[in-house]
Structure 1
Amino acid sequence: MSTKKELSVSAIQEGTVIDHIPAEYLFKVIRILGLDNCSNLITFGTNLGSSKFGKKAIIKVADKFFKDDEINKIALVAKEARLNIIKDYEVVEKKLVHIESEIIGIARCFNPKCITNNQEVTTRLLLVEKEPLAYKCHYCEKITTEEHLEII
């Protein structure tokens, strides 16, 4: 006789489920969204099987609905992320993240001599290329590519 063992995570009544996060970026997404300082019930799983990514992560946030500009910040590390808006235990809306044309105070400029890395000046990066992802610093005009993009 074979028994199947499963670990299931409770469904949420109201809130947001963020799926298709590359497993290695789970904690960056949590930090970008400020969930490390959130008092809502948060459930997450990582290294879950995914035919697309190999391994993925998922985050469930009870009683929280994100604005588009909040959630689009995670496109820097999770371009394929999908959001499911949950109401009364049902998915009522699905959303994709979008790469922002300008990001302010989220990522560090690649140039170590940039004013933003040496004084208390908020970073401001402008999109120059979506694939591969590249942003130009508003202040020093150096390009920061996806491989060098560091989330603050």
Structure 2
Amino acid sequence: MSDDTLRVSKIRNGTVIDHVPGGQALKVLAILGIDGSAGETVSVGMNVPSDKLGRKDIVKVEGRELSQAEVDVISLIAPAASINIVRDYEVIEKNRVVRPERVEGVLACPNPNCITTGDEPVASAFEVLDAGVRCAYCDTIIRRDIADHIG
């Protein structure tokens, strides 16, 4: 085995998020609401060599399959990511993320005057752009640090 071989243990059941751009794994964990407080078993490989990306991150989450809303937000920061569902140590499903045209109820608008940030019962909605997202109500654009706006 060569020195550059990645050694990360297999998971029994859960999700593997592969082909995340190097350095973005912690943002993926933020999107998933994983901060270590709930005791989730998580493996993270950061800045590992990748033929496609140069450097990539890998996130393995034991005992959890992602919702479509979580996958949609991950696609905004990792458009080339693949989501692998693992059961009994076998990958039973492998999907590339697809950037949606719109995400609803997942991100919080940073504009304090937006109708979605007040006391109104209005869920946030964002149109997905090539380089960010735009609030469907006030047109505020988020270009960077999308994971910081998980609502």
Normalising by structure 2, what TM-score?
Answer: 0.77
Gap change, CA 1:146 and 1:28, over 3 Å in 2: same
Tell me the amino acid that sits aligned with residue 44 of structure 2. Answer: F
Deviation at 1:24, TM superposition (A): 2.2
Q: Which runs of 5+ in 2 are unaligned?
A: none
Q: Give the 5 Å matches for 1:1-152.
A: 4-5=2-3, 6=5, 8-36=7-35, 37-100=37-100, 101-109=102-110, 114-115=113-114, 124-127=124-127, 129=129, 132-142=130-140, 144=141, 146-147=143-144, 149=146, 151-152=148-149
Tell which deviates more after alignment, 133-142 or 35-44. 133-142
Which whole-Å CA distance do the structure 2 matches of 1:8 and 1:86 have between them? Answer: 17
Deviation at 1:7, TM superposition (A): 5.3
Deviation at 1:48, TM superposition (A): 0.4
Which whole-Å CA distance do the structure 2 matches of 1:150 and 1:8 have between them? Answer: 28
The higher radius of gyration belongs to 1
> In 2, are the aligned partners of 1:13 and 1:62 still within 8 Å (CA)?
yes
Length, aligned pairs only: 145
Normalising by structure 1, what TM-score?
Answer: 0.77
> In 1, are the aligned partners of 2:72 and 2:98 still within 8 Å (CA)?
yes
> In 2, are the aligned partners of 1:82 and 1:94 still within 8 Å (CA)?
yes
Which whole-Å CA distance do the structure 2 matches of 1:41 and 1:146 have between them? Answer: 31
Gap change, CA 1:137 and 1:42, over 3 Å in 2: same
RMSD (Å), alpha carbons:
2.9
Q: Which runs of 5+ in 1 are unaligned?
A: none
Identity of aligned residues (%): 31
